[in-house]
Amino acid sequence: MKGFLHGHSAPVSNDYRIHADPKDLREYDAFGPWVYPINTYDDVPRHFRAWYDELHSATFFLKVPVNAERSAMRPGMDLYRSVLAVYPERIVVLDWNGSSVIRRDIDMDTIQAVRMSSDLLPSELSLYIADGGMVRLDYNAVSSHEIEKVVDYLRERMIASRASSNRSKANEPGRSGDGIRDHYYRGVWSMRSRRVPSLRILHWEPPGISCRRHAGWGRSSLGCLVLDEGDDLVVISRGQFMRSWRETVYSLADLYIPWATLQSAELIQKPSGRKRFIPTVRLTLKGHIVDLELFAPASELQQLVAAIAGRDTGQVLRQ
């Protein structure tokens, strides 16, 4: 009774550390939400070690953790669910599904576009493949810097893998960034213009445009910035194009489309199957359709379509 009243806490047992395999314990001590590079055989999660000799020479060789609280994990458990190996001409993705490893090999010249998106911490890297498929890799936003390096490399290799002289006219004058007043989009434009001084703004649409005509009461646009960065078309958005006035949106998305993969662009002012139409700029890639729901005046959207179709990429403009 005395012990109960005075509340002596039971000691926390760390027996699992005593009996753990040293390799498993080292992996467990480093475990967290971070995407780690694989530098040695010992860095490879156990289910993927059979592929180390084949993949260790990759330009990027990364392991992606499971989405789990560290307090629920122990040494010897499956702490990593994917391994990503990026070469100049191909990508290898290994996924552990709980019972076996699923492998996918992707040739660089089959990747049509790359998208990075996040919503606070949950994030996703998406690859648009020419056969119509998508390769998605979930990660935590704390590792965005590592994934951004992969995306920059993929953009370079997607362009280099296509023996084409197709290139935009990024050195031609574009719209001024002075009109971008929204803090988020202004910051993005400022950062990207420092990296690519010759970029052109093809379309800027501020957030807050009423969507009542298109989606009913209580909804407004989230804005969109479309850039020509020389070798690719870049679409900066909030991951969606409109929101409820009461909805707080933290999501972000960057979509990169090499000019050489863009087959067509068209303005659809009355998409079928909807009671209310949303003006849509439709971009067609091999195996994929990308719809940008925009709310600027139709004349501005027609200018965007004309600017995209004006690139020397061989696409056909449909209006």
Q: Are residues 222 and 181 in the same domain?
A: yes
Q: Are residues 119 and 154 in the same domain?
A: yes
Q: Are residues 107 and 80 in the same domain?
A: yes
Q: Are residues 308 and 183 in the same domain?
A: yes
Question: Is the CA virtual torsion 298, 234, 310, 131 positive or negative?
Answer: negative
Q: Are residues 198 and 155 in the same domain?
A: no
Predicted local confidence at residue 260, as pLDDT: 94
Say which residue the tokens 């970029």 belong to.
Answer: 199
Q: Are residues 72 and 155 in the same domain?
A: yes
* Domain end point (choices 134, 160, 186): 160
Predicted local confidence at residue 149, as pLDDT: 97
Q: Which residues form the domain of 62? A: 18-160
Predicted local confidence at residue 55, as pLDDT: 97
DSSP string, the chain: -HHHHHTPPPPPP-HHHHHS-HHHHHHHHH-SS--EE--SGGGS-GGGGGGHHHHTTSSEEEEEE-S--GGG--TTS--EEEEEEE-SSEEEEEEE-SSSEEEEEEEGGGEEEEEEEEESSEEEEEEEETTS-EEEEEEEGGGHHHHHHHHHHHHHHHHHTS-------TTS--B-GGG--SHHHHHHHHHHHHH-TT-EEEEEE-TT-B-HHHH-TTEEE--EEEEE-SSEEEEEE-SSSEEETT----EEEEEEEEGGGEEEEEEESS-TT-SS---EEEEEETTEEEEEE--S-HHHHHHHHHHHHTSSS--EEE-
Quote the number of domains for the chain.
2
Query: CATH no. for residue 85?
Result: 2.30.29.30
Local confidence pLDDT in tens for the 319 residues of the chain: 444 444 544 444 567 777 777 787 888 878 889 999 999 999 999 999 999 999 999 999 999 998 888 888 888 788 999 999 999 999 999 999 989 999 999 999 999 999 999 999 999 999 999 999 999 999 999 999 999 999 999 999 999 877 554 555 544 555 667 789 899 999 999 999 999 999 999 999 999 888 765 555 567 889 999 999 999 999 999 998 877 777 888 999 999 999 999 999 999 876 555 566 788 999 999 999 999 999 888 899 999 999 998 875 444 434 4
In a domain, 169, yes or no: no
Neighbours of 313 (CB within 10 A): 20
* Domain end point (choices 160, 193, 214): 160
* Domain end point (choices 160, 190, 216): 160
Q: Are residues 72 and 190 in the same domain?
A: no
**Residue 261 tokens, joined:** 């993969």
pTM (2 decimals)?
A: 0.86
In a domain, 256, yes or no: yes
Which residues neighbour 286 within 8 Å (Cβ) at sequence distance 6 or greater?
A: 112, 130, 261, 263
Q: Are residues 85 and 207 in the same domain?
A: no
Q: Are 33 and 10 spatial neighbours (Cβ–Cβ below 8 Å)?
A: no
Pairing of β 90-96 and β 101-107: antiparallel
In angstroms, the CA 224 to CA 292 distance is 9
Predicted local confidence at residue 30, as pLDDT: 82
In a domain, 48, yes or no: yes
Q: What are 301-307's contacts with CB under 8 Å, separation 24+?
A: 301/203, 301/267, 302/267, 303/203, 304/202, 304/203, 304/226, 305/265, 305/266, 305/267, 305/281, 307/202, 307/203, 307/228
In angstroms, the CA 171 to CA 258 distance is 17
Q: Are residues 182 and 153 in the same domain?
A: no
224 forms beta bridges with: 205
Q: Are residues 207 and 271 in the same domain?
A: yes
Predicted local confidence at residue 59, as pLDDT: 98
Sequence length of the chain is: 319
Predicted local confidence at residue 317, as pLDDT: 39
In a domain, 2, yes or no: no
